[in-house]
């Protein structure tokens, strides 16, 4: 297949970064009430205690930052997973990492542990994500075809969802049951800088682990045997990527809930632009994921105040038709 656009990595990354920067700024401008943003930023920088500075630093900035790092995490992890499993449908959402993370976070939050130890929340997410990912991987087998992997993913997703719903029903808080939508669809509304700080360490560690895997993933496109003879340690690579995904997706989902389809769609859209090279796809997908989630979250905020639409509704509305398109396109190989 010929790439539709011939771009160097530098051009692609700078182009995507420009779009991301524009969306970042736009995201700060959009809220339920118009505020003079530059004055707000000025007040915040000069430590002038004003309400607009408060809205800027405590409401809009954390929301924008959380959307940015969560989107980047999902895009990056999707690209790494598709590279590792050499499977176009692998992604944190379909493989169960995200719903496993949500289950882990639910265990920690509703039964009081995370209010005593804040870091218990992302830790729960990490453990849940790792457990779900490993289960799917073991169920489907190492050389799993697309269909087997998806079926194993569906089983684990369904199991995690059922357990989340059970736990929320058993939770002491009367508000818990209504919050199942939040964990299934994901939301970034009303999060604070504290939440951002809680999710950041795991995410950064995960990114760091993933960024070094490019060359191994490139080699893996030639097949496992070839990659092994080239001197790449595949079991080590596998563990490294699974742990990185657990760290990053676990931390992100424990704050935002499972936001669907970003990890699936973004690597697909960008793959032709990086000449199908996994090492180039990683960074591009990270920026692409951040762009998609920021754009979706801006969309959510454009609805009139009081309509509490979850950001995952938008990403799924975009992602589900795309998923169908992928299925139709690869139907012959599935059958």
Partner 1 sequence: MRPLLITLLLLCLLSSQSAAQPPRVVSINLCTDQLLLMLAEPQQIASISYLALEPNSSFMAEQAKQHSINHAKAEELLTLKPDLILASEYSDRALISLLQKLGHQVETFPLPSSIEGIQGNITRMAQLLGQEERGQQLIKQMDQRLDKIARQQPAVRPKALFYQPNGYTSGENTLQNTALQLAGWRNLAAELGTQGYRAIDIETLLLAEPEQLFTSSYAPGSQSRAQQQLLHPALKRVTAGREMIEIDYKQWICGGPMVADAVEQLHQSLPK
Binding-site ranges for partner 1 (CB under 8 A): 31-33, 35, 51, 54-55, 58-59, 109-112, 114-115, 171-176, 178-179, 182, 190, 192-194, 305-306, 308
Smallest separation (angstroms) from partner 1 to the CB of 127? 19
- Cβ distance to partner 1 smaller for residue 95 or 109: 109
Name, in order, each residue with C-beta under 8 angstroms of 330's C-beta and a sequence gap of 6 or more: 88, 146
Smallest separation (angstroms) from partner 1 to the CB of 257? 9
Smallest separation (angstroms) from partner 1 to the CB of 235? 39
Please check whether residue 282 is in contact with residue 270, taking contact to mean a CB–CB distance below 8 angstroms. no
Structure tokens at 30: 């959009």
Distance CA 59, CA 28 (A): 9
- Cβ distance to partner 1 smaller for residue 51 or 334: 51
- Cβ distance to partner 1 smaller for residue 14 or 115: 115
Taking each helix axis from N to C terminus, what angle separates 97-110 and 120-140, rounded to the nearest 10 degrees?
Answer: 150
Smallest separation (angstroms) from partner 1 to the CB of 107? 11
Structure tokens at 92: 């944190």
- Cβ distance to partner 1 smaller for residue 238 or 301: 301
- Cβ distance to partner 1 smaller for residue 193 or 320: 193
Smallest separation (angstroms) from partner 1 to the CB of 200? 16
Smallest separation (angstroms) from partner 1 to the CB of 34? 10
Would you give the end-to-end CA distance of the chain in angstroms? 22
Q: Smallest Cα–Cα separation from 247: which of 114, 122, 63?
A: 122
- Cβ distance to partner 1 smaller for residue 197 or 236: 197
Q: Smallest Cα–Cα separation from 197: which of 311, 58, 296?
A: 58
- Cβ distance to partner 1 smaller for residue 8 or 33: 33
Distance CA 316, CA 163 (A): 22
Please check whether residue 257 is in contact with residue 185, taking contact to mean a CB–CB distance below 8 angstroms. yes
The SS3 call for residue 5 is: coil
Smallest separation (angstroms) from partner 1 to the CB of 161? 17
Measured CA to CA in angstroms, residue 168 lies from 27, 122, 134, 158, 165 at distances of: 32, 18, 24, 15, 5
């Amino acid at each position: 297949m010929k790439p539709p656009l011939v771009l160097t990595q530098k051009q692609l990354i700078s182009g995507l970064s420009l779009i991301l920067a524009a969306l970042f700024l736009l995201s700060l401008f959009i809220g339920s009430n118009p505020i003079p943003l530059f004055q707000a930023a000025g007040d915040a920088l000069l430590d002038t205690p004003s309400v607009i500075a408060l809205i800027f630093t405590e409401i809009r900035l954390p929301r924008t930052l959380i959307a940015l790092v969560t989107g980047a995490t999902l895009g990056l992890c999707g690209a790494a997973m598709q590279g590792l499993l050499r499977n176009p449908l692998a992604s944190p959402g379909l493989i169960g990492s995200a719903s496993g993370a949500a289950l882990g976070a639910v265990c920690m939050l509703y039964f009081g542990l995370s209010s005593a130890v804040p870091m218990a929340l992302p830790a729960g997410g990490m453990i849940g994500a790792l457990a779900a990912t490993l289960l799917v991987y073991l169920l489907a087998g190492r050389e799993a075809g697309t269909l087997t992997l998806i079926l194993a993913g569906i089983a684990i997703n369904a199991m995690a969802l059922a357990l989340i719903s059970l736990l929320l029903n058993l939770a002491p808080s009367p508000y818990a049951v209504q919050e199942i939508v939040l964990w299934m669809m994901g939301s970034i509304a009303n999060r604070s800088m504290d939440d951002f700080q809680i999710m950041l360490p795991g995410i950064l560690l995960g990114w760091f682990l993933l960024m070094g895997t490019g060359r191994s993933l490139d080699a893996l496109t030639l097949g496992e045997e070839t990659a092994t003879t080239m001197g790449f340690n595949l079991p080590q690579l596998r563990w490294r990527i699974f742990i990185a995904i657990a760290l990053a997706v676990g931390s992100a989902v424990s704050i935002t809930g499972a936001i669907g389809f970003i990890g699936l769609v973004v690597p697909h859209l960008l793959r032709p632009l990086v000449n199908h090279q996994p090492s180039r796809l990683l960074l591009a997908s990270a920026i692409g994921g951040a762009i998609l989630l920021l754009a979706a979250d801006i969309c959510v905020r454009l609805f009139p105040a009081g309509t509490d639409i979850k950001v995952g509704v938008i990403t799924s509305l975009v992602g589900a038709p795309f998923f169908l398109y992928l299925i139709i396109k690869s139907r012959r190989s599935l059958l």
